[in-house]
Amino acid sequence: MKVDDLILISVDDHIVEPPTMFDQHLTVEQKAFAPKVLKDKNGADYWLFEGRRAGNIGLNAVVGRNREEYGCEPISFEQMRRGAWDIKARIDDMNANGLLASLNFPSVVTFDGSLFHQFDNKKNALTLLKAYNDWHIDEWCGSFPGRNIPNAIVPYWDIQATVEEIKRVVAKGCHAISFTDNPSLKGQPSLHDAHWEPLWKVCAENKVVINIHIGSGAQAPHASMNTPIDAWIITMPISIVNSAADWLHLKALQRYPDLKIALSEGGIGWIPYFLERADFVHDHHRAWTYADFGGKKPSEVFREHFLTCFIDDKFGLKNLEDIGEDNVAYECDYPHSDTVWPECPDRLIETVSHLPASTIDKITHGNAMRLYNFDAFSLMGGRKNCTAGALRAQATHIDTRPQSFGGPAPLAEGETRRCVTSGDIIKMFTQVSKEDGKIEA
């Protein structure tokens, strides 16, 4: 297969919410409590939700920068590539990258929408959450049919409202939700509590995929404040492993054959050992733990219910047979620093060349289209319009060269660069949000 023949669908990208997000989706009365984008004395753009300042709008939205500037988190829309927050520019960047479609997670409202869970006024929170979903489905995804897979957030502080919202977005053509990887860390019942039964039921009956993104509950730990930040970056995708083991033991998977879970931005190289270890533990310890997988091996349950994804994972692709070719999808991770935009097809062709064409089709787009009920080919007027070559032909005018948005401060005389640590990054985030709740409009 040639690079121009690849068809790429990413199941993990991100949106930096634009200032106009709520404009068309709230009544005049509701706009009285609508969040607003303001600018502080340091030039930072920020969202004000219920009188409190939300996190950095451009957290890790560094795509297109010189790599030396990756750690300089954007604090304003002007410091980001426009495709991070503008749908038309995003489509241009997708075309330049040869990417057919993507599923996007929120940024400021957090991957699982838990910013709304922090509201004192839960009625207003529900109104705004629904408005986000309407904007995401109708504007972001609806403006260019076939290019974005809808991914809703849910008010999981209220299980009945969650069920109702899932039914509402399914009626709008959305078959994916973003959910926390560990609700007990968000003050909610454990996955294994009967409280969640209505969620499993409505998702299974409506073929809604539950996406659990890394960092949506459990967090990748920093070894110490003096540890090079590289150590944290290395382990960040794999940090979902504990949650993956937890979800693998979910009894609802036995009751609902159609229940699907996506481990978003988790990588795949660790999956073969994870499954081997799960099978060993079940065989070796079940006599005293009483774990029950309905007569199946844990690895069998995993392959029936879970989707994984990769950016650049040679080891995982070499061991695809031990993961399952029906359980793997591609991710671009635009606009985060791990993305290899605009070279995704060029990098990918090197790592999949040993695979048969039918397998390449599955992991690059087929599995995503099947699980998310997303018929991109029909929406795009046929397969011929969906290849990397066809899309890139529409983007010859797009400048993809790395740009400078303002790098690290120049060194003082005699000063040398040192390794960036976890403490440095945490301090940077803290400085951006230290005035949380004290910002004057």
* 375 within 8 A of 100, measured Cβ to Cβ: no
* CATH number of residue 381's parent domain: 3.20.20.140
Residue 74 lies in a domain: no
pTM, to two decimals: 0.96
At 281-290, the pLDDT tens digits run 999 999 999 9
Q: Average pLDDT, stretch 217-242?
A: 94
**3-state DSSP of 44-83:** CEEEEECCEECCCCCCCCCCCECHHHCCCCCCCHHHCCHH
Q: How many domains does the chain have?
A: 1
pLDDT at 219 exceeding the cut of 50: yes
* pLDDT at residue number 431: 58
Query: Residue 176's beta-bridge partner residues?
Result: 209
Question: Which token pair is 415?
Answer: 């000063």
CA 193 to CA 293: how far, in whole Å? 17
pLDDT above 50: residue 438: no
Higher pLDDT, 51 or 149: 149
Domain, as residue range, for 320? 3-10+22-34+102-386
Assigned domain for 424 exists = no
Q: Express each pLDDT in 251-294 by its tens digit.
A: 999 999 999 999 999 999 999 999 999 999 999 999 999 999 99
pLDDT digits (tens, 9 = 90+) for 360-405: 999 999 999 999 999 999 999 999 999 999 999 999 999 999 999 9
How far apart CA 376 and CA 50 sit, in angstroms, is 38
Q: Kindly state whether residue 65 falls inside one of the protein's structural domains.
A: no
CA 141 – CA 87 distance, rounded (Å): 9
Q: Which helix (H) or strand (E) holds 100?
A: strand 99-105
pLDDT, position 59: 85
In a domain, 282, yes or no: yes
The sheet with strand 176-179 has its strands ordered as 148-149, 99-105, 8-14, 328-330, 306-310, 261-264, 209-213, 176-179, 152-153
pLDDT band at 187 (very low <50, low <70, confident <90, very high): very high
Read off the pLDDT of each residue in 119-132 and give the average, rounded to a whole number.
97
**304 inside domain:** yes
Assess if residue 42 is contained within a domain: no
Integer angstrom CA distances of residue 220 from 239, 241, 247: 5, 10, 18
CB 10 within 8 A of CB 102: yes
Residue of 15, 62, 16, 75 whose CA lies nearest to 428:
75
300 falls within a domain: yes
CA separation for the pair 266, 308 (Å, rounded): 7
CA atoms within 13 A on the CB side of 229: 13
Per-residue pLDDT of 37-84, as tens digits, reads: 999 998 999 999 999 999 888 889 999 999 999 988 899 999 999 999
Residue 55 CA to residue 59 CA, distance in Å, equals: 8
d(CA 257, CA 120): 38
pLDDT at residue number 440: 32
Q: Is residue 391 part of a domain?
A: no
84-113 residue pLDDT tens: 999 999 999 999 999 999 999 999 999 999
